[in-house]
Every structure is written in C-alpha cells, then in structure tokens.
Structure 1
Amino acid sequence: MSQAAREHVVVINRYGRALAPYESYIDHDTVAVSYISVPAAAAEVPPTAASSVVVETSGALVNDADDRAVIVDAARRLVERHGPLCAVVALHEGDLDVAAEVREALGVPGDRPDDLAPFRDKYEMHRLATEAGLRAPATSPARDADDVLAFGARHGWPVVLKPRGGTGSTGVRRLSGPSEVHRIDPDEDLVVQSFVDAPIVHVDGLFDGRQLVVPRVSRYLGTCMAYETGRSLGSFELEDPRTVKAAGDVVERLLGALTRRPVVFHAELFDLGDDEFSVVEVACRAGGAEIPMLWREVHGIDLLEVAVGLQVGRPLEDLVGDGTTDADAVGGWLLVPPQVNRPCIVEAVDTAGAERSAASASVPAPGTMIHAGGGYANAARFRFAGATSQVVEEQVRAAAERVRLTCVPVPEDVLVLVGSGGEAYREYAMASAARKARVSLVNRSPATWQRAYCDATYHRTSAEGMAEIVSSKVAELAGGPAVGVMTWDESVVGEVAQLADEIGVPGASAEGVANCRDKFRTRTTLEREEGLGVRFRLVHDLAGGRAAADDLGFPLVLKPRSLAGSAGVTRVDSLAQLEQAYNTVASSGFPGLMNEAGVLVEEYLDGTELSVDCTVVDGIATAANVAHKRVGYAPSFEEVGHVVRPWRHEPWAGDVQELMLKVHARLGIVAGVTHAEVRLTSAGPRLVELNCRLGGDFIPLLGELATGVDLVGCAVDIALGRSPEHMPLRDSVAQVVFLYPERDCVVAEVDMTGCAEVDGIHSAIPLARPGQKLVLPPRAAVGRFGALIAVGDSVEETDRALAEATTRAVFRAEPDD
C-alpha cells in the first residue's frame, strides 16, 4: 500500500511508550500515524511514526484555549502533509476536549465537544445524574464569592469548590465556612458542591452504550485531595457481590444518562453504607494512577488499547472478545508522595520491604525533582495482586504505613547545565546535581528522562542557540540566587568555558580548555616544564609518522589530536604496525567532536595507568579521587573497567598530587572538576591527558561509593562559587567492569536483572538496546552491552561479586557480517 493510500490517524500524546505503546495499538506500517506531542513525550514517539510535531503548550493539565488553537493548527499541517484524517486519538483527560475540537474542525468521525460536555462539565454531569434519579451532592456554578456564600447558606458547610472542567483533584478545595471564601477570579470556571463525609469507591471498566462490561469496584485508601497534601493514596478491589452489583448499577445508570456511545470509564462514588452510593463524578477515559497497568497485568485487559480502538472506529466486541477476565485475581495499588511542599528533591526512599510483596514497584531515585502541581508520576508506586480482597487490602495498608519518601526543598541556587549525556551513563550525575542546585538543562535533544531532575529544560539546536539560552537565563536570574554554568559533555566543554568567561561565573577558562582539548597544545605547553614533558611529534601523513618513529623509537602511541574516550588511540611496536594503524587513527571520530588536523605520535609511557579527578579552586588543584584503569583490546586502549581503592598512603600519592598542581597551573585551569589520565612510569608520574570535565565510565560514582566524596556535587559547588566538600569519609573499594560481545553484532536481547541479585553488586546497567549494532575496538570504541558496579571492603571481594554477576548476564545477538 502506498504512502498516499494509507489512512491517516493523529495521536495527541502526553504518555511514554511503556504506558501507551501506540505502535502495538495501531499498525504503523499500514496506517500513517502522526503524533502531536508535548516536549516531555517527544522522544517517546515510535520511529515508525509518519510524522512527529512537538507543541509548546501552557503546561496545564487541561488544554486552555491557546493550547487548543496551537494543537488544531498542528493537526491542519499534518493533514497537508499526509492527507485527510480518519481518526484522532487522545488518552489523557486534558486532551479530550482538543481532540474533539480537531475532529469538529477537520470533519473527522468521533466524539465532538457536545458529546463530551456531559463528562467534562461537572455541573451538567450532576444535573443529568439528578434527573436520572441518582443520588448526588447539590451542585451549582460558582462565578464569584457571593455564589459560594449563598450556596453555603442554602446547603450548609463545609462545601467543595472545584474547576468545572478540571481533571483529577487538581484545583479542588474544601471550604469549612464563610471565613475561608476569598475572591474568585472571574476567569475561573468553577462549581460548588455540598461536602459529603463518606468513603469513596471507584468503578472502572467498559460501557457498551447500554450496560457495563467487565466492571471492577475498588475502595480508595485515602483521598485524591489528601494525596495533594502528602498523604498516601491507594485502592484495593472489592469482591462482595452485593456491593459490586450496587455500585455497578449506579454507574450504569449514570453512564446511560450521559451517553449512548461505547466508552472506557473511570467513575467515583460516595459509599453511604448499606450498599447505597452517591455520584462523585465519572470520566470517559481510563483511570489514572496505576489503574491501566493493574488491569493490564492482573486482568489481562489493556484499557488504553480499548480506548484507542474505540477512537479509531473499532467495535468494542472486537477489542475485548467475550469480556471475561480472571475472576479469581484481585488487584490493588498504592502511591506514596513526598511529605513536604512541592517542588522538592527526593533525598531517600525507605520501602521497608514493600517491593517484595508487590507485584510491581517503581521508586523515584534520590535526586529526582518532584515538581509543583501534583501528579502521580514521581510518587513511590506499587501494584499488588492476590487471591482475595482481604489479602490485597492488607498489603496496601501495610505499605502505606511503612513506605516513606523523604524529600527536601529544592535548592535556591541555579545551575545551568549544558548537555545531559546518555541516561545509562549520566543519570546518577543528574541526580547528584539536582540535590545541590535547581538545574536548568540546555540540551541538544528535547528532554525526556532528564525532566525528573530539572527545574527547567531548554532545547537548543546550535552553538549559537546554546549561548543565547544560557546568557538569557543568567541575565534573568541576575541579582537573585547564585548562578553557575557547567557541562560534563566533552563536545561542548569549550563553548561552555567561553560562555563562563564572558558571563563572569566560575569555570575552567576558555584558554585552559583549549590547551587540554588539543593534545598537541597540551604537549607543547608542558614540554617547557621540567618533569612534565613527554617526547612527541605532530605529523600529517604516513611519511611524517615514519620520520617520527625514526626519531622517537618504538614502542609508540598514535592518537587523534582532539577526540575523547580513547577513540583511535593505538600502540604500535614496529614500523609495520605503524603503517597499518596510521590511516585508522587519522580517520577516527567521536560523536559531536571535530578532530584537529594531524596525528600525535608519542613515546609510550610504561607503568600503571590511573585516572585522577581533581577539584580546582582559584587555580589550585587537589586530587580527590584516583581510579586504577583496566585496559583491553590491545593495541587499542579500550577502558574495560576501573577500580577505586584506598590510595592516599601509596608511595606515589605525593608525586601525583604535585604533578596535578603543576599541570593545572601550566595549562591554565582555574576552576572546576577535572579528569586526568596518568601513567606511573619508572621516571615518575606523567600526564597522558587532562579533561576539563567530570570523568566518564561511572568513575565519579565509583569515587562516591568508595570514599563518600560526591565529585558531581563538588563540580556544582565550584560552578556556584562555593567551597567543594572533597574530604574522604571512608576507604572502601568500588569497581566497574564493562561487558562486551565476542564479536561485532546486532543486539537482540540484554537482560541483567539476575546480575543485580548477587551480593556486593551495586548496579547492573544495560548499555545496549535491541537492534543496536555493537562494533568492537579498534574499529569503534565502547562497544559494550552492559556495566556491572560492585562495592566491598577489598578488590578481591568486588572481583568475586563481579565474576559471579557476569555469569548471570543474558546477552543475545546476531552476528554482523
């Protein structure tokens, strides 16, 4: 089927693919599926999408008029590109209204604004419920404070004030009496309701236009309103047939009063006792929190898939078959929010073993920012399953009592961080930075996982765009909190140093970074200082390489002039090896970096290789962390592992510290955290290279695990003009090993869950994904499929843990021929 002949569907998306895998809901090969996404969901669009448009909206949970205009315009542009629409899909309640507007504006089948009004307008919903003979709290529009006062006088206090077209409990307020009634913004569209002091149940399932299909009735533990104030929220499914039938009958009558169309629904009822229920409200979408995942895992029905299927015109019976589920399975869930005002930073999570009784658990990592405005994403989240309602209720209640999410206020000082790096290698660093400062991220690609650690994110597409964003952010905050600028991304370290110099905030210095990025400048700058020089030549062709070899003698090291990560660095022991390796070294590359012309030919430095991380304040470098490198894939210098162990009493420690003082001063590095590579030669320690950024390969994390020194935190402190905390707190051992395939390949599966179960293993991290091509050195650098990090009291202890964990790693791949 040609592109032009394919049907065209637009998805208005706020969700990640783990929650809503649209590519499994709609065949993207036979249907042209376009996406209109908010920035946070942009990277979650399947690669098989016909188009992807990112829209900047107000950020409100429910799209306002300006948001709707932007989205309708985006839909028109997609129609111009891919042809008329046959369906518009939206799953989030805040997007239902705009999806209806797109359908109406472009003549697309499906719900229009009038169809949604009984669900989206809480006053209209309660009016229709009352007309249908259902019990419901008194409800009235509230245009101003006088309306609220009059309602309270007529129906009594307390009352509940809520947005007329809101979602969840956002903006819902309980007013105890007239003294709590303040001025109401005339632009707010509100309703006021009588307060009902009764527990709440929720009913979820499907409605075929006449009756309920596979409904499940659950009792809340806590309330949505209390959740916004730091109280846990959960629920557990009920089994009592009378209660289930009574609640289901109320919801069936309510839905029948609102629509004759099939819908996925989430209803809430006040439980008045004796199987009597009063209407709270109902939504024509799947429930929030853990409800869609719980249904998927426990009951075998994907409510989101059904919702998508209905919106693209599939009959309900085709989506749910005979409508049966596992009648013996009972589900429940729990959300534990922070207990301080948001925004805040997660400091620690104590699950008290709740994850062992849960069918599934998702816990935010320390350093995660929990933003203002509520929401469920950054809570500690648990799903439970059991044979009876009583069993599940006990699990939910026990977890609610024991689990604690300890949070602290967001720091006042602001760090403008340029470039996040990849999630696998740098999430720990983002978390550490967030604990130290309010992070504003300036990134090449739209932020996804990084948003959990950021106060603000900015997408830049060029160096000029980066400079403009950073400069304007610093100017915006002038006169307020301390502001710093930093990066750990080698590809922009020069630009960031230049900006720091121009703006007048602490940084390495643009000249110092240039001296380090260009390894030829490093060598020429240091050769005039006694004890720092290394014999070298810069050559521009193979003939020059031969001449350098004649002059310097073998063994030699060939290296690109200005790359990173050991890319292209090769040892040669003979003229034949030099001639074979030269072109490979000269043509090497590294993502995001331009290589300066020429190949550096250096004498080979014998001895143990270390990496040395230094804090630099006012030009004085202090060695804070030392890692022993493990190198493989000779003649390349692939770093296959690193070990941080006690080093301050080693006989070479003083000489290494002295070397760091000299090279930083000579190269002009005045502030920051740096990462040096050093060889302990027979003539004393010599510098291999110096990087004006945090080390990679988890080395800063190893340092923190082994010594208690948070190198990321030190870098943030220095960028903000504060004194770094670089004194060690302990002398443990931390080690990382990287796992490689046996040959070049295309990854089919990486599963490291079994590795994490080994005693002493701190982390087991997949580094490759299915479909990814891995190429081994020397043809490419870092062709790894996983990383294992171990912590212990000795190198031998961590070696044993890593050896055992390595045997448990599952890796499948197809040869790349």
Structure 2
Amino acid sequence: MAVKSIGDAHVVVLNRWRDSFAEYARYLDHDIARVTYVTTDVGRAAVPANAREVVIVEDLLDHAAVRVALEPAVRAHGRPEAVVALQESDFAVAAALREEFSSQGRKSADLHHFLDKHAMLLAAQRTGVPVPRFELVTGSAGLTAFAAESGWPVVVKSLQGRASTGVRRLGSPDAVALLDLPLDAEHPLVVQEHLPHRVFHADGVHLGGGVLGPWRLNAYQNVPGAAAFGPLAFALGEPVGSVEIDDPALLAEAEKFLRVLVPGMSADPWVFHLELFLTPDGEFVFLEVGCRPGGGEIPFVWRDVHGVDLMECEFSLQCGEVPDLAPFGDDEPVAGCLHVPLDRPAPCRVVTATSMVSEDGPYSEAIPSAGSVIPRTSGSYEFVGGRFRHRGTSTAEVAARVMATAANYRLVTEPVRVAVIGGRVEMLQAAADLGLDVTLVHFPDRCDPRSDALCENVFRVDLIAEPDRVVDLLRREHAERPFTRVLTLTEPGLLPAARLNAEWGLGGNSVETVRLLKDKALMRDRLAEAGLSPVRYRSVRSAEELTAFLDELDGVPAVVKPLDSGGSDGVTMIATPRDVPRAWRQVEESGRTVVLAEEYLDGPEISVEAFSHDGVHTVVALTDKFLGTGFIEVGHAVPADLAEPVRRQVCELTVALLDAVGLVEGPTHTEIKLTRRGPRVVESHNRVGGDYIPDLVRLVHGVDLVRLAVGVPLGLMAWRPEPRQAEGGAAVRFLLAEPGTVTEVTAPEMPDPAVSLTLTAKPGTEVPPLRWSDDRVCGHVIATGATARDAVARCAETVSRVRISTRAD
C-alpha cells in the first residue's frame, strides 16, 4: 500500500471516473482505513468493494450537495483525516472540505493560482519563464483593444475550466460579437496572444525544495490540416495524440524551464502537468499548468511503460506522504497515446468501433463496444470515441504509430433512442436529463402537458384496448431508426415492451418473466413449484367452481381477483357461500371468463420496493400500506415498521420470488401479507409501485427508482447492490369524499415545508364510488418526518383539515 500513516482514520475520496485511472484499492488499505467515496452514478463502478461508505451525488461540483450527502458518514466515522480528489474539477470542493475539517491536503489558497487562469499566468510570469502576452478583460471593448495591439487572432479563456473547455480562438473583431462565453465584470475572461507554435506537455513529480523526480516531455500530435494546435483540436472534434520526446537537446531546454517554473509555482511536493509552446527559435513558452497528473492516457502509459503511478503519487501527497522516487535514466522507453473524439455529442450508442491493437499499433486501447451507450459527462477524456496507448524505442517510431491509428480507426455512433410505453412524466424527465431521444406511446386522455416538450415523438394509443397497435407502431418506428431499448413503468406496457426488446435483441426481462408476474395464476404456479409462500389457490371459471374452492378452505374466506389487473381493480372477498352469486355477477359484468381465487391472507400488508441489475436483487425500501374500503389503498408510509426478524424474512422471500420468475433487471413492487404462518406473497410487478411510493422511497432512502429504471439498463447510471439506510420517514395519504358532484372545497394554508398538499377536486368534479385506485380523484398529501409515524401523523392532521363537500347525483 502506498499510504502507511493513515491507519484506521477516516478518509474521504471524491471520484468521478468509471475506468481505472486511479487504482484506489492499491493506494490505501480499505480494510483498515475507513474510506468514504463521494461519487456519481457514473463513477460508482470504480469504487472498491470494501469501501466503508459510498455516497452518490448528482454533481460533484456542488459543494453544498456534497457536504449534505457526506454528513451521515462524518457522523458515523468522524472528521476525515484526509480529503482526496485526483481530478482537477473536484479540487475546489475538496479544498473547502479540508478547510472545514482541518484535513490533510491542499487548501484553497494553495490551489488558487492553479485553478484560476489569470492568477496562473501571473504566478508563472513571476517565476521568470516566458509567458504569452495576456490581460484580464471584462468587456468586448477591452478584448478588442488587446487584440488591436497584439494582433488577431487571440485566444480567450474562462478563468476556470479544463480539457480545453471554455477556450475560444477569435480571428477578427466580428468574432467578438459572436462569442458564446459570458463576458462582464462578474464573468471576466483572460485574453492572450495567439502563438501558432507546436504545443508540448511535461509531466512529472516535484519532490519539494526544487528537487525534480521523474518527468517526461511530450509533443502533441495533430492530424494533417488540424483546425488548431495541441489539445484545443480535440475540443473542435479532431483526434489528438501525444508522444514522448527523445531529443537530448530539446530535453535539456525543457529541464532548464522546469527547474525554474516548477519550484517557482510551489516549493512543496506536487505532481505537475505542464503545457508549453516551442517557438521556431527553440524557446519554450508557458501555456498552462495543473497541480495534478495529466489526463487521458498519461496515468496509464506512465504505469505501463515507466512503472510509476502518478495517481498513486498524488494520492500519497494528499494524504501527507511524499513518495520516494528517483529521476528516470537516459534509456527510458518512449510512450505515446491518442484520443479520438466521438463522432456526435453524447449520449450516443456505438454501432462500430474497430480494434487497433497490433504489434505495430497500440499495445492497449479503451474503445467502446458495439451496442454500448456513451454517457454524457463533462471535463473528462474518459468517455470519448477511443483511447490508445503506444510504446516503442524512439519518438519517430511511436509518432508514426499514433498517426496511423488516428488515420485508420473507425468509429460509428448513433443517437440513443428509446421508446417509452406509458407516460410517467418523471420517467420522461429522467430520459431527457440523460440526453435521450424519446418516442412516447400513451393513452390519449392521460398525456401530461409536459410530455410533448420532453419527447421527440408522441403517439396516443389506448394501451389496454390496442396492445397490438402499440407493437406495430413501434415496429415501424424501429425500422426507420432503431431504438436502443423499449422502457415502461406502467402495467399495460410491460408485455409489449418485453416482446419488442426480445424481438430486437435489446435485453431486459424476458417475455416469460413478465407473464409470470402479470398473470397471478402463473405466478402462484411458479411459487408452488419453487416451494415458496404456500397459499391455497385455484383458477375458476364459474360460480360452481368458486363455491367448491370456498368449501375446500374450511371456513377461511376467499379472495377473487382478475388474473392480470392492478390497483385493486375487481378484487372481492368472499366470506361465505352466500357471497358467491354477487361476486360472480361482478366477474361476468367485467367481461372476464376466468379469475383467480385464493385463500384470504389475514394480517397487515406491506410492499417491497426492489431494484435488480444483472440478476442481482436489492431490497431498497419496505412500505407500510393503509387500506380503506375493501382492498383499496388509502395511504402508504416508508419505512415500514417491522421487527428485524420479520424484515429479514420479507427480504429473503422477495429475493427468492424474483429469482424464481427469472427477473434480471429494473424495479419491482411486491406486495406481501404478514400472516401468523409467516410472510406470504400477494402479487409482484416488474415496475415501480404506484401511489407516489417512488417519491417516498426517494425522500427516505435517497434512491430514485424511476431514474434508475431509465439509466441503469442503458449503462448511463451505475448500480451497486447494497442496502440504503432510511433517513427519517415519509408518508402519503389520499383525500376521499362521498360519491357525487363536488360543490365546495376548503383547504388549510400549508406553511410547513414537510407537508405537501395536492388538491385535484374542485367544484364540478365527479367523485365515483370507491371501487379501485383510479376512483381516488380528490388529491393527496405527502409528508416527511423524523420517523414514518411522524409523517403519517402529519398526513392525517392535514387530511382532517380538508373539507370536500359533494352532492349526491
């Protein structure tokens, strides 16, 4: 292990990479140190399995959000001894955390002249090395005046930014008016003279006090006719390579430059990534410098070719330890790398990516596989069109290989297009946030007005009455431009989605799995075969068969339910044979010819909200259920109030059920009765629960099941199968009223931010008799609290203050 002095202290690591840019598990003993990772959905896959805590945030740049998310880990493990961030984008947040906790690592003052481009140029100028002419400007007049003196073109830069983001080259005064960067007193820019020279970069380690450790000088390689020199060409959509230099004279000049600049920027030990120009007269001129390892393939080729891990060095320094390193010798092999941009903006789906690894080509590559989806990220070379690593015996040999790879690599991508059956606007918003092209098929009368703005196409079809039309319509769309996946979180969309995904080879749950969960009789058959959740049941086709089944129950009531419905639609309890004629009339009136009859399960009912990925099932939340008339649900609360042995039994039963039906991915909503004989499955669905349960789960466990259902199957979000602890409680309660026409509605003011009241009833609203979930037309209350019981009480108190008057028709 690289770091020896941390012991069992708490260490916080900010990580945004999915690839192995940093081999964290090798840098620190995670079985001893208490390591908390703050990462994103994308970066979660790179977190070592034995990390003590994993905290997911949407944006690592959001210091406030990171701090709030980190608080439970700080309470559990104490003040972090060190805060580590290896990517420059995360330095400012890491510095702020170090200052708050007095942790190891650089503070804001140490980093200012590395993160602010104007301060950087001033600091480099003070060391005495040549720098381009530059000026801080706050308006177009100042910019134009500088250019008039220095000559066009000029380069303008945002004060913060990396990987050539926020950099523009302006060729004339007309270009100033078209500048797409903010420019005013609050958003100044650095303008500097344009130097049309070759661009180099130097990477290495300063061991402190002017002592240089190992370092290498590289020349950027641009394709013939490139729109810009150096890395800026990559931002313009062109491949950019880099090759280490073996010219002794050039290396000697570079070393003289480094020995002035590097200790002048910081006398402390630091890992540097320096970019510089080389003039025709052989003079190096400062461009930029980072207090970090270089990006892209630089850490990889240093590890592979030179045996030095720059990320390990930086990790050690941020934990307060200086690595023991010697300078390279004269016989060091030559390394090089190449980055190829995507052929379209991410997210996109890869159609073709040609491997280039060969004896005369790159020794290693990171290229996307055909069919994979490239996520949309910022400020990183990780998710690009291709990354290639080269090595050889000379600069000329490696440069030729790099350019040959750039010329011959073939990448073809297409936009990520998904079909969504059923229009939860939260799902459409998640897809839009992830950058997907969405085609929506939904009920004509249920489209949210916001749907059109979130979708590429919207087709209005009755999903229940016309399932074949849904399939045919999407087949035509797929033939014109293929979908990457068909998604749905609505009951009537589950089978069509499974059929189309199977037909087109897009993955997902099988048609058989979906049928097993949709058809309640088939699910009972599978449970019986697996020896799970024993319940007496039978498919019945007549009142006589129903009566015979009731006789077999020896006085236990029976429940009659449709084979494939939801929302408590058509569910009836039969206590005695006298109830059979009435129950069967309801069956006939519904147009059904066969229903499921099963023994009534006595006991409280809960639901289990789970998420699965690659056949691994994780119970995310347990939900208490509150019933009103018959089996109609009138409220829910998270987390369910269960003793630990019962909770464990429920989780084990749910996982066994999902294994038994062959479920491989996505959210599930499983209803379970807690009987005296143990937990028994009522039914299960491969979708999220209704009744705002996903909102309760997000409020309490911080897990957005809807967003995961979109992002994880496409590879745009990572998922780790681990429990999510509850933070407080949340509940929902539905507003009910007597059947009839609403005449008056009065509601309290809602000053409490922990309570949200949604009223859908208004004068003229028709309130039907409460027969199934869709009859709850008056609105709902969602509340949070220190516990689920507190949230339920807040809901009840709010509901008691709402008055909905109706007139019987």
Normalised by the shorter chain, which TM-score bucket?
0.5 to 0.7
Give the structure 2 partner of residue 116 of structure 1.
Answer: 111
Answering whether residue 477 of structure 2 is matched by residue 482 of structure 1, we say no
Residue 51 of structure 1 contacts residue 78 of structure 1 at CA under 8 Å; is this kept in 2? yes
1:622 matched to which residue of 2?
A: none
Deviation per residue, 1:416-435 (Å, 9 max, x gap): 499xxxxxxxxxxxxxxxxx
The amino acid of 1:179's aligned partner reads: D
Determine the structure 1 residue equivalent to 2:435: 455
Matched, 1:255 2:262: yes
CA contact (8 A) 2:343 2:413 kept: yes
Q: Is the 8 A contact 1:370 1:378 kept in 2?
A: no
1:216 equivalent to 2:191? Answer no
Summarize deviations over 1:213-234 as a string: whole Å, max 9, x none.
1110011002221112221111
Partners of 1:36 and 1:593 in 2: how far apart? 21
Instruction: Say whether residues 1:20 and 2:32 are aligned partners.
Output: no
Shift of 1:173: 0.4
Q: Distance in 2 between matches of 1:124 and 1:540?
A: 68
Alignment partner of 2:74 out of 67, 79, 92: 79
CA offsets per residue over residues 749-783 of structure 1, 9 Å max, x none?
Answer: xxxxxxxxxxxxxxxxxxxx9xxxxxxxxxxxxxx
SS in 2 for 1:357: coil
Report the AA paired with residue 221 of structure 1: Q
Q: Distance in 1 between matches of 2:282 and 2:532?
A: 87
How far the C-alpha of 1:440 sits from its partner, in A, is 7.1
- Structure 1 counterpart of 2:135: 140
Provide the residue aligned with 1:172 in structure 2: 167
CA shift, 1:506, in A, is 11
How is 1:236-315 mapped onto 2 (pairs within 5 angstroms)? 236-315=243-322
**Correspondent of 1:397 among 387, 400, 403:** 403
Separation in 2 of the partners of 1:372 and 1:389? 33
Larger displacement relative to structure 2 (382-391 or 323-332): 323-332
2:435 partner amino acid:
D
Q: For 1:301, what is the secondary structure of its paired residue?
A: coil
| Closer, same or farther: CA 28–543 of 1 in aligned 2, 3 Å | closer
Q: Would you say the 8 A contact 2:136–2:191 is kept in 1?
A: yes
Taking the aligned partners of 1:202 and 1:160, their CA distance within structure 2 comes to 19
Deviation for aligned residue 1:406: 2.7
Which of residues 82, 87, 96 in structure 2 aligns to 1:92? 87
1:323-334 mapped onto 2 (5 Å cutoff):
323-324=327-328, 327-334=331-338
Return the alpha-carbon distance in structure 2 between the equivalents of residues 591 and 165 of structure 1. 42
CA spacing shift, 1:174–1:501, aligned 2, 3 Å: same
Alignment of 1:604-753 (within 5 A): none
Aligned-partner Cα distance in 2 for 1:163–1:231: 22
Secondary structure at 1:244 match in 2? helix
Q: Distance in 1 between matches of 2:536 and 2:348?
A: 61
* In 2, Cα distance between equivalents of 1:539 and 1:286: 55
Aligned to 2:37: 35
* Superposition TM-score, scaled by structure 2 size: 0.53
Task: Name the CA shift for 1:17/1:180 in 2 (closer, same or farther; >3 Å).
Answer: closer
C-alpha distance 520-140 of structure 1, shift in aligned 2 (>3 A): closer
Same amino acid, percent of matched pairs: 31
SS of equivalent to 2:236? coil
Residue type at the aligned position of 2:199: I
* 3-state SS of 1:243 partner: helix
Q: Quick one: distance in 1 between partners of 2:76 and 2:47?
A: 18
Is the Cα–Cα contact under 8 Å of residues 242 and 275 in structure 1 kept in the other structure? no
Q: Tell me if structure 1 keeps the 8 A contact 2:212–2:327.
A: no
Question: Which residue does 1:631 correspond to in 2?
Answer: none
Shift of 1:290: 0.5
Indicate conservation of the 8 Å contact 1:163/1:189, yes or no.
yes
Match in the other structure for 2:123: 128
Aligned residue type for 1:14: R
AA of the residue aligned to 2:412: T
Could you tell me which amino acid in structure 2 is paired with residue 346 of structure 1?
V
SS at match of 1:316: coil
Q: 1:293 to 1:178 in 2, by over 3 A?
A: same
2:490 to 484, 493, 496: 496
Partner in structure 1 of residue 782 of structure 2: none
- TM-superposed CA distance for 1:252, in Å, is 2.8
Conserved 8 A contact 1:164-1:190 = yes
**Could you tell me which amino acid in structure 2 is paired with residue 202 of structure 1?**
H
Q: Distance in 1 between matches of 2:520 and 2:104?
A: 66
Contact 2:7 2:33 in 1 (8 A): no
**Which residue number corresponds to residue 603 of structure 1?**
none
Deviations 1:88-132 (A, max 9, x none): 100000011111111112222321111111211211221122222
- Note the aligned Cα RMSD (angstroms): 4.8
Instruction: Confirm or deny: 8 A CA contact 1:440 1:454 kept in the other structure.
Output: no
**Structure-2 change in CA distance of 1:353 and 1:177 (3 Å):** same
Give the direction of change, closer, same or farther, for the CA distance of 1:312–1:17 in structure 2 (3 Å limit).
farther
Residue 384 (structure 2) aligns with: 378
Counterparts of 1:202 and 1:51 in 2: how far apart (Å)?
A: 37
String of CA shifts for 1:570-623, please: whole Å, max 9, x gaps.
Answer: xxxxxxxxxxxxxxxxxxx986699xxxxxxxxxxxxxxxxxxxxxxxxxxxxx
Deviations 1:466-519 (A, max 9, x none): x9xxx99994445852258999xxxx999533467999x9999xx999865467
User: Structure 1 residues 483, 311: CA separation in 2 closer, same or farther (over 3 Å shift)?
Assistant: farther
Cα deviation, residue 336, structure 1:
1.6
Letter in 1 for 2:14: I
For structure 2, the residue ranges without an aligned partner over 5 or more in a row are 1-5, 223-229, 464-469, 472-485, 503-510, 539-562, 564-611, 620-659, 663-684, 688-709, 711-719, 721-809
Aligned to 2:581: none
Equivalent residues in 2 for 1:473-622 (5 A)? Answer: 475-477=450-452, 480-482=455-457, 496-498=490-492, 517=517, 521=521
1:206 equivalent in structure 2: 205
1:311 Cα deviation after fit:
0.6
Residue type of the alignment partner of 2:411:
L
State the Cα distance separating 1:284 from its structure 2 match: 0.5
What is the identity, as a one-letter code, of the residue corresponding to 2:410? R
Contact 1:440/1:456 (CA < 8 Å) preserved in 2? Answer: no
Q: How far apart, CA to CA, are the structure 1 residues paired with 2:618 and 2:189?
A: 55
Letter in 1 for 2:169: R
Where 1:111 maps in the other structure, the secondary structure is coil
Matched letter for residue 403 of structure 2 = R
* Contact kept? 1:228, 1:374, Cα under 8 Å: no
How many angstroms apart in 2 are the aligned matches of 1:515 and 1:387? 61
- Which of 346, 351, 355 in structure 2 is aligned with 1:347? 351
Deviation at 1:255, TM superposition (A): 1.8
- Quote the Cα distance in structure 2 between the aligned partners of 1:177 and 1:112: 40
The change in CA–CA distance for 1:157 and 1:211 in structure 2 (over 3 A counts) is farther
Q: Figure out how many residues of one structure are paired with residues of the other and give that number.
A: 490
Partner of 1:47: 49
In 2, the alpha carbon distance for the partners of 1:337 and 1:7 equals: 41
Q: How does 1:424-463 map to 2 (within 5 A)?
A: 455=435
Distance verdict in 2 for CA 1:83–1:397, change over 3 Å: same
What secondary structure does 1:252 align onto?
A: helix
Change (3 A) 1:366 1:43: closer
Query: Structure 1, unaligned stretches of length 5 or more?
Result: 419-438, 444-450, 459-466, 526-535, 546-561, 563-588, 595-636, 640-690, 694-715, 717-768, 770-817
Cα deviation 1:220-268 (Å, max 9, x = unaligned):
0022211122211111111112211211221331122211110111001
2:418/2:436 contact within 8 Å kept = no
**Deviation, structure 1 residue 378:** 2.2
Cα deviation, residue 177, structure 1: 1.2
**Whole-angstrom CA distance in 2 between matches of 1:196 and 1:74:** 45
Q: Please, what TM-score do these two structures have when normalized by structure 1?
A: 0.53
